[in-house]
Structure 1
Amino acid sequence: MLEDKTWNWQGFPITYQNYGEQGPGVILIHGFGASWRHWRKNLPVLGQVSRCYALDLIGFGNSAKPTPGKEIEYTFETWGQQVGEFCEQVVGTPAFFVGNSIGSIVAMQSAIAYPDLALGVAGINCSLRLLHERKRLEIPWYRSQGAAIAQLILGNATIGNLFFRQIARPQTIKKILLQAYQRQEAVSDELIEIILKPAQDPGASDVFRAFTRYSQGPLPEDLLPNLPCEAILLWGTKDPWEPLELGRELAKFPTVKQFIELEGLGHCPQDEAPEIVNPILQQWFR
């Protein structure tokens, strides 16, 4: 296993890895609860045509997990700033920003906040943020209230920490991943360990509770019209969490130059079927 590299950001250690020494810069941004290792099947291949980096967002993976509300705010603006400054200080040139799930929102936020650094944005099964407070206005009141009550309950430190401990178990993580992935064989012991290990770090439960309460911030439909660059969207058609038909609506924005449906794949196609996703991204970088 490759040894992690460390970048210091605002006094906090941030973990990352990179491959490739030639070509355009590329930054890979993971989703909720994941880490740079969720791109382990992509980095070496994409690094053949680019200078490819993947980092752990602050609060996730092996990166620092400072106290929410006291040391840091876990928002897309925070993560967008982290990625933008990583691009400036580590990559050293403009880059393509590639994200999966909430990482797609971070990629868009980074491009808007640092327009001179954005060569393009790729969103893979972009989070639609269906629990956002504005989205709740569009759903039946009983569903909206249920989400708000759940957030309130999980916001309680004792209950939230207990709930998190129930999730942070191998059998529970495997069950969740088997929902997200259509290719069941991709849910390996290695993948479970990648998700489980950082969840056992001090502060991981606090980050989880902070994010479950976070129902503000930008939506993809807010960000896409304001991108300073072109975007492509890749979408596993069998994603159980981010419905394909809603994803197709995002393709209507003029900045979205391609909407690529990945037939039969789930929420994390880059890990589930790297042999399909990698060539698409390689061609886009070229």
Structure 2
Amino acid sequence: MSNYQTWQWQGFKIGYQSYGDSGEAVVFIHGFGANSGHWRHNLPFLAENYRCYAIDLLGFGASAKPTPGQPFEYTFETWSKQVADFCREVVKTPVYLVGNSIGCVVTMQTAVENPDLVIAIASLNCSLRLLHDRKRETLAWYRNVGAMVMQKVLKNKKIGNFFYQQIAKPKVIKNLLSQAYQKKEAISDELVDLIYQPSQDKGAADVFLAFTGYSQGALPEDLLPILPCPITFFWGTNDPWESIELGKELANYPTVKDFIPLEGLGHCPQDEAPEIVNPLLQQWLEKNQ
């Protein structure tokens, strides 16, 4: 039984999906530019034994897309408050959190700020936030300059909106996905449409530009030492955006229970190869009970 529902948070509509009506609760958090539909191949499988929820972060999917700063900035603090309130008001029990990409940072921020709410975290291809101010200092100067120029240029509203219009097209989305996914047959029209449709909503361009210019907030290595619960990393070995070599450095923190390479997979393994990821998530849940 699936249902796409809405919940009011701070006066804004939030979209979410729920599957399953018994067992412990698992909440899934998508990555940048995606939405709760990115978990459509995982929710029904795990809902056989768990209550599963996937939420659209503010600014994405079916959720509201208020102008940045009115009243929220698009930051990990904002999203962690949203997720924590969702767990308290809708789920009503402590939860297991599963994240992909920037969703992983959201899960960690939520746990750090709400230690009573989160039992354990599964992190799939965590965003390393390589454009963060503190990370950029370690980049080669030409990459650092390039990133800063790009962010500055996109802050010009006209240029930023023009750039967004060029990329928020089915063909470009498909090209980006074919970089992120190693198994090209997983890039269906349904997947492209799932990302394309919300990108056309009023306010979607402003959200995109606000986040591409966001170089502050917590890094995974800030949150891991103070995480109040165990975390397990799963990482597609062929991720072109978040290198597994850099990812492995995160495994050295005591809160990290396990680091599981996913051979030959890309940045969104849960959607690219659910037949591999679903049983692993089930094992992870069983281990953490």
Q: Shorter chain as normaliser: what TM range?
A: over 0.9
Matched residue, 2:253: 253
Matched residue, 1:183: 183
SS of the residue aligned with 2:72? coil
Deviations 1:27-72 (CA, angstroms, capped at 9, x unpaired): 0000000000000000101111211100100000010000102321
Q: CA deviation at 1:75?
A: 0.2
Matched residue, 2:277: 277
Mapped contact 2:122–2:234 kept (Cα < 8 A): yes
Deviations 1:75-124 (CA, angstroms, capped at 9, x unpaired): 00000010011000011000011100000000000111110011001110
Deviations 1:134-166 (CA, angstroms, capped at 9, x unpaired): 001111222111111100101111000110010
User: 5+ unaligned residues in a row in structure 1: which ranges?
Assistant: none
2:84 and 2:240 mapped to 1: Cα distance?
31
Mapped contact 1:25–1:50 kept (Cα < 8 A): yes
Mapped contact 1:50–1:285 kept (Cα < 8 A): no
Matched residue, 2:204: 204
2:108 and 2:94 mapped to 1: Cα distance?
14
Deviates more, 1:20-29 or 1:194-203: 20-29
Matched residue, 1:96: 96
- Structure 1 residue ranges (4+ consecutive) displaced by more than 6 angstroms after TM superposition: none
1:225 and 1:98 mapped to 2: Cα distance?
19
Matched residue, 1:106: 106
Count how many residue pairs are aligned between Structure 1 and Structure 2: 286
Mapped contact 1:236–1:267 kept (Cα < 8 A): yes
- What residue identity is the alignment partner of 1:103? G
State percent identity of aligned pairs: 63
2:227 and 2:24 mapped to 1: Cα distance?
19
1:117 aligns with 2:91: no
Q: How does 1:94-243 map to 2 (within 5 A)?
A: 94-243=94-243
Deviations 1:151-182 (CA, angstroms, capped at 9, x unpaired): 01011110001100100111100000000000
What is the TM-score with the length of structure 1 in the denominator? Answer: 0.98
Mapped contact 1:221–1:250 kept (Cα < 8 A): yes
Q: How does 1:6-85 map to 2 (within 5 A)?
A: 6-85=6-85
Q: CA deviation at 1:203?
A: 0.1
Deviates more, 1:2-11 or 1:14-23: 2-11
Mapped contact 1:66–1:203 kept (Cα < 8 A): yes
- What residue identity is the alignment partner of 2:196? L
User: 5+ unaligned residues in a row in structure 2: which ranges?
Assistant: none
Q: CA deviation at 1:2?
A: 5.8
Q: CA deviation at 1:3?
A: 5.2
1:203 and 1:134 mapped to 2: Cα distance?
29
SS of the residue aligned with 1:208? helix
